[in-house]
Amino acid sequence: MSIVTSKEIVERTLNCRSPQRVARSFYDSDFICFSNSVSEVVKPVLSDLSRIADYELPDYSRFEDYWSVVQARAKNKDKWFIGKLPGFIFSIANEILKLENHLTAIMLQRDKVRILHNKIDCALQQMIHNYAKAGADSVMFYEDWGTQTGLLISPDLWYEEFFPRFVRLCGIAHQCGVKIFMHSCGKIAAIIPALIKAGIDVLQFDQPELYGIDRLAEYQKQSRITFWCPVDIQETLQTRDEKIIRAKAKEMLDKLWKPAGGFIAGYYTDNAAIGLEPKWQDIACQEFIDKGKCRH
């Protein structure tokens, strides 16, 4: 069997073309992530929407702000390259307005909040185009839509206000030749089919047990989607039981990777935040490596 690069491993994973091994984001990661050099909003700048017509986001259209991305791409040709977005429509608007003000505006000031959402859409389009021009294989955003039990807003409201925007931005990414990756915390089962339909290529979850591995596998049977997950950071890792952790890692490989593709073995980077020593994740990582090999 010939040696393939990390980029080829990830490409085969996303296209379900039986990669030689499971793609991974730990140890010698298959991924490299870079951001542009544009200054971002660091604190809420609008207390309400009265000045929204005059509000201007940072300018993301200048390709020279992506020169560091070009240089990093040139030095890491064999890796799968991710261009990091500062969020998506919802999360960026939360930073600008604060979460509680944004949620209130979505309910009570839809016309005005759409002005803000449209401005964010335009900025994201600029970023996607420039990341593609700089050589990124994908773009990724972090946008937490869920609590531990469900969405932060009603599914109907999400479909009305946000689904068309996801469709538009995913379409732009694909037209540019880049994949689009999304992270979300919380349980977002109500919109997973819509995210897949909109064109999200990878869903990154740190709590796959909020859905159950069998349910994630069902999504894969219905549509092409790749899940990028560690073993569950709240359920599995917290057992501190080597047998349970190894068994769950193997189950994820058996049901989500299979080993046709469609699964990326993940690693939660802040062990201290979840109150665990690194050794517990190391057990899962070793199981992913040992069992995540394609045998022809």
> How do the pLDDT tens digits run along the chain, 296 residues long?
466 899 999 999 999 999 999 999 999 999 999 998 876 555 567 878 888 888 888 899 999 999 999 999 999 999 999 999 999 999 999 999 999 999 999 999 999 999 999 999 999 999 999 999 999 999 999 999 999 999 999 999 999 999 999 999 999 999 999 999 999 999 999 999 999 999 999 999 999 999 999 999 999 999 999 999 999 999 999 999 999 999 999 999 999 999 899 999 999 999 999 999 999 999 999 999 999 998 65
* Per-residue pLDDT at 69: 93
How many Å separate Cα 125 from the centre of its chain? Answer: 17
For residue 103 the two structure tokens come to 């949620």
> What one-letter code names the amino acid at 59?
D
* Per-residue pLDDT at 149: 93
Q: What are phi and psi of 11, to 5 degrees?
A: -60, -45
SS (H, E, C) 237-248: HHHCCHHHHHHH
User: Alpha helix locations (H) across 162-294?
Assistant: 163-175, 192-198, 213-222, 242-252, 278-291
Q: What is the C-alpha separation between 42 and 40, in angstroms, rounded?
A: 6
Rounded (10°) angle between helices 242-252 and 213-222 = 10
Check: CB of residue 271 under 8 Å from CB of residue 248.
Answer: no
Q: What are phi and psi of 27, to 5 degrees?
A: 50, -120
Q: Which of 188, 184, 65 is nearest to 123 (CA)?
A: 65
**Neighbour tally for 44: CB within 10 Å:** 14
Looking at residue 179, the DSSP 8-state letter turns out to be E
Residues 6+ apart with CB under 8 A from 38: 58, 59, 60, 62, 65
Check: CB of residue 284 under 8 Å from CB of residue 246.
Answer: yes
How many Å separate Cα 247 from the centre of its chain? Answer: 25
Check: CB of residue 173 under 8 Å from CB of residue 180.
Answer: yes
Kindly report the pTM of this predicted structure. 0.95
Tell me whether strands 23-24 and 202-204 are parallel, antiparallel or unpaired.
unpaired
Q: Which of 169, 252, 175, 176 is nearest to 207 (CA)?
A: 252
Check: CB of residue 291 under 8 Å from CB of residue 245.
Answer: no
**In this structure, which topology does domain 6-291 adopt according to CATH?**
TIM Barrel (3.20.20)
Q: Which of 282, 281, 291, 220 is nearest to 251 (CA)?
A: 291
**Neighbour tally for 268: CB within 10 Å:** 19
